[in-house]
Amino acid sequence: MASGHPLVKGKTGQRNPGFPRTFGAADGPGAGTWKIARLLLRGTARIRYDGFMRIVENTADLEALAQELSGAPYIALDTEFMRDQTYWPKLCLIQVAAPGGTAAIVDPLAEGIDLAPFYALLARTDIVKVLHAARQDIEIFAQQGGVIPDPLFDTQIAAMVCGFGDAASYETLARKLAKVEIDKSARYSDWSHRPLNKRQLEYAMADVTHLCTIYEAMTKMLARTGRASWVEEEIAALRDPALYRLDPREAWKRLKPRTSNKRFLAMLAALAEWREREAQTRDMPRGRVLKDEALTEIAAHPPENPEALERIRAVPKGFAASRLGKGLLEAIELGRHAPAPEGVEPRSPQRRREPNPGAVDLLKTLLRLKAEEIGVAPRLIANSEDIEKLAAQDDDGVAALHGWRAEVFGNDALALRKGELAIALEDGDAVVVELEDER
């Protein structure tokens, strides 16, 4: 039962009819495996593989794969998608691997394929879903499949706890934990184009096969240090459905306005909602509808008529007379009479006092020292806003003063602020010194 596969490029650049599916008892439930061997096609194929690569292009094979993976304790996942020309991400590939060697590439663009078996697999609570830098992948799963993977393990978050820095790349973890080098040359491929070539397929598969090794190494490290709960606390935020809900009424928050002026915010919210709806309907990037700077400029100085709109520097010439321009003018009129949006949170809220620059520097040094001491990325413990609030003695909402963060940094930050700790030089190195109580 031979069939060509659009993912695989033959010598002529057309579908290659010589890649047979192999069925038999040895294949077990994975009957759908593409066997691409060195001597296959007698040297006529542009792609030659040693071993096996499993490519799933129909619902029946996807159901078989999901059934095979249903007994795995965890599955490693990754996706390839395109969104530079669209609003909604275009899912182009799904890669999956599990312990024991099962690995496959699923082609979401294959004609007639139904991804429901894959999304049902993601919904299973007895299988850990392992991803690296998972947010964009989860956004696709949530929007297109209606599911947020749970339980979830993000190796980039775990890397911060395991001492690999603030934002360790997959390539870094593969090199340090799996002892392999990843060829990054295919990273920026057009993943929607068919057929894909050998380099692209190998890159895509490597994104999950080594992820299994990384995950197992990290779970051992976390068990040894007792910090698994730290990772779980961070990953919990990724499971919040609100993170992936693209409500046009909330679009103004993406612009991070620096003011609490209600008239400005009411106008900005109306403009951002209009742009978001247009981008979603037309499936085009927000910036191609109208750029951020145009929205903020219009919100600050709303034009009274189309001629005034045309004079705004950030608005393209001729925009006011277009259909988009007419919709924008209607949104401006709505914004004039709209109330300020709920949940107004100025970017720089008023503090009781401004932080002293020297205090900020001292707290940053303390944070770096404590992070180095326990081998955790500083950003995981406290961010810049936390440091500034601590320096200003404005402790409300500072995450670093609670839980494990307080144990490793927050309590010492308060002690430094009270004069109970100091930072000194010892043999040329900065050290934390506990001061004696002279009372």
What CA dihedral angle connects 375, 381, 383 and 385, to 10 degrees?
Answer: -150
Specify whether the CB–CB gap between 386 and 355 falls below 8 A: no
In degrees and rounded to multiples of 5, residue 258 shows phi and psi of: -95, 10
What is the spatial distance between Cα 433 and Cα 425, in angstroms, rounded to a whole number? 10
pLDDT reading at 43 higher than 70: no
Overall pTM surpassing 0.85 (yes/no): no
Question: Which CA distances in Å does 325 have to 261, 320, 330, 336?
Answer: 25, 4, 9, 17
Q: Sign of the CA dihedral 79, 129, 73, 233?
A: positive
Taking only the tens place, the pLDDT of each residue in 21-36 is 322 333 333 333 333 3
Domain 5-244 matches domain 357-434 at the CATH topology level? no
Q: Are 222 and 161 in contact (CB under 8 A)?
A: yes
Q: Does 103 score more than 60 pLDDT?
A: yes
For the chain, the structural domain boundaries read: 5-244, 248-337, 357-434
Torsion of CA 327, 328, 334, 337, to 10 degrees: -160
Instruction: Output the CA–CA distances (angstroms, integers) from residue 99 to 213, 215, 267, 360, in the order listed.
Output: 9, 10, 53, 47
* The residue to which tokens 């080594």 are assigned: 210
Closest CA to 182 of 161, 199, 194: 199
Q: What is the mean pLDDT of residues 266-272?
A: 97
Residue 11 pLDDT greater than 50, yes or no: no
Q: DSSP letters of 219-234?
A: HHHHHHHT-HHHHHHH
Q: How far apart are alpha carbons 178 and 180 in whole angstroms?
A: 6
pLDDT at 7: 63
Dist. CA 54–CA 32, nearest whole Å = 7
Alpha helices in 252-349 (DSSP H): 262-282, 286-289, 292-300, 306-310, 323-337
- pLDDT over threshold 60, residue 88: yes
pLDDT of residue 189: 86
Residue 348's pLDDT is 47
Query: Which of these CATH numbers, 3.20.20.70, 3.40.50.880, 3.30.420.10, 3.30.420.40, describes 5-244?
Result: 3.30.420.10
Q: What is the mean pLDDT of residues 186-202?
A: 89
Residue 34 φ then ψ, to 5°: -95, 115
* CATH superfamily, with its number, for domain 248-337: HRDC domain (1.10.150.80)
**3-class SS letters over 105-123:** EECCCCCCCCCHHHHHHHC
pLDDT for 185 beyond 50: yes
Report pLDDT for 152. 97
pLDDT for 18 beyond 70: no
Pairwise pLDDT comparison (258 vs 154), residue with the higher score: 154
Closest CA to 132 of 170, 75, 182, 171: 170
Residue 183 pLDDT: 84
- Mean of the pLDDT values across residues 334-345? 86
Query: Which amino acid is located at 123 in the chain?
Result: A
Say what the pLDDT of residue 167 is: 86
Q: What is the pLDDT of residues 109-137, one digit of tens each?
A: 999 999 999 999 999 999 999 999 999 99
Distances, alpha carbon 393 to alpha carbons 214, 356, 359, 408, in Å: 41, 10, 10, 19
Peptide bond into 151 cis (omega under 30): yes
Cβ neighbours for 177, distance < 8 A, ≥ 6 positions apart: 213, 214, 217, 218
Distance CA(32)–CA(96), nearest Å, equals 15
Average pLDDT of the segment spanning 281-287: 96
Q: Which two tokens stand for residue 108?
A: 């979401």
- Which residues fall within 8 angstroms of residue 27, CB to CB, at 6 or more apart? 33
Out of 1.10.10, 2.40.50, 1.10.150, 1.10.3470, which CATH number does the structure's domain 357-434 have? 1.10.150
The predicted pLDDT at position 87 comes to: 96
